[in-house]
Amino acid sequence: MKRSKFAVMLCAALAVVFALCGCVDRNAGNKGTTTSASDTASTVRSTDDTTDDNNGDYEAGKDGIVSSDDNNDIPGTTSGTDMTDGTSDTTGDMPAVSGTSLKDEAAFASSYIDYMALKNTKICWGLGKDRDSQNRPIDAVKAQEKYEYLGGIFLASEGKICLTFDEGYENGYTAAILDTLKEKNVKAIFFVTYDYCKSEPGLVRRMIDEGHIVGNHTWSHPSLPDCTQKDVWAEVTKLHEYVLREFGYEMMLFRFPKGEFSEQTLDDVNGLGYKSLFWSFAYADWDTSVKTDPAEALAKIEASTHSGIYLLHAVSETNAKILGPLLDYWAEQGYSVGTEF
């Protein structure tokens, strides 16, 4: 009897050790499911997670993706915080494990270790000039392969062009863009912030009523890798709940402010039920101080045509002028333009 009891205790102890070593696959356990953006997530990043010690200067890595040169792979932790069940919390804000079964503890330990293995190094999304045989940027192809399991989308499927606009503020051209889209019977995705929703409710309502997709661009447009995990959740969920309350519309697509993300923040957003839409084409149309010649801009975009995600900024007068001819050109080339990717 004593031997039997000792064997059970030994097995239980070994199971805990294996769990703490990450032997249970978190991805197999819960990556295939998502929760509502208003649900509480189950892991918390420490407040020491600030990155970007290079004063905003970025250099392209070997894969062509522009990223910061800091090496903050594993977030800092704090210790000694009491959890609600009386156990010690070495992560500062980590929620208590529910229940007391060995299975619960093993799953919790594996999930947390797997999360901590993700890097919080800031990546500033950008594209090199190299392209494949389908005219797709090589960097977007690589990023799609690398980050798709975390909910990152960088390309569209064959024959599709996903048209997106970022809306940080209104510069008087969104109505004209919506007019052109309506005339050409094309739908687009508009990523909005709280300030935009608050100041331009009529345009947001029109986007929704005319069948476009409205996406989440955060509450206040911060660089998310510089935020604590709780702040990341707040930036996403506050806007989600505001748009749901004010417009009766539930957002499902997300775009990182400035294109700055990390593996951990991708995982955070994915855990809130969102897919993160990046882009495979963009140009400096957001800088309104630079007057881009419409003919040059149109030629530049046409030359880049591929099955991908196109980012245009609605603050650009040039984009409003060339949108009609651009949509005509894409249709002539046989592409399906819209919100599918």
CATH architecture of 127-338: Alpha-Beta Barrel (3.20)
**Residue in 52, 166, 268, 285 annotated catalytic:** 166
Q: So what's the pLDDT on residue 292?
A: 80
Triad 257, 258, 263: Cα angle to 5°? 70
Q: So what's the pLDDT on residue 157?
A: 95
For residue 294, the surrounding DSSP H or E stretch is helix 294-303
Q: Where are the domains of the chain?
A: 127-338
Q: Quick check: is 179 catalytic?
A: no
Express as a percent the part of the chain with pLDDT over 90: 60
Report if pTM > 0.85. Answer: no
Q: So what's the pLDDT on residue 28?
A: 33
Q: So what's the pLDDT on residue 285?
A: 83
pLDDT, tens only, 164-205: 999 989 999 999 999 999 999 999 999 999 999 999 999 999
Q: So what's the pLDDT on residue 215?
A: 98
List the one residue out of 231, 276, 266, 273 whose CA is nearest residue 250. Answer: 273
The CA distance from 229 to 272, in Å, is 12
pLDDT, tens only, 117-130: 888 899 999 999 99
Q: In sequence order, which residues have a C-beta less than 8 Å from that of residue 110 and are 6 or more positions away?
A: 19, 22, 23, 24, 25, 26, 29
User: Which residues partner with 216 through β-bridges?
Assistant: 192, 254
**Quick check: 54 pLDDT over 50?**
no
Burial of residue 174 (CB within 10 Å: 0-12, 13-18, 19+) is: buried
Q: Quick check: is 313 catalytic?
A: yes
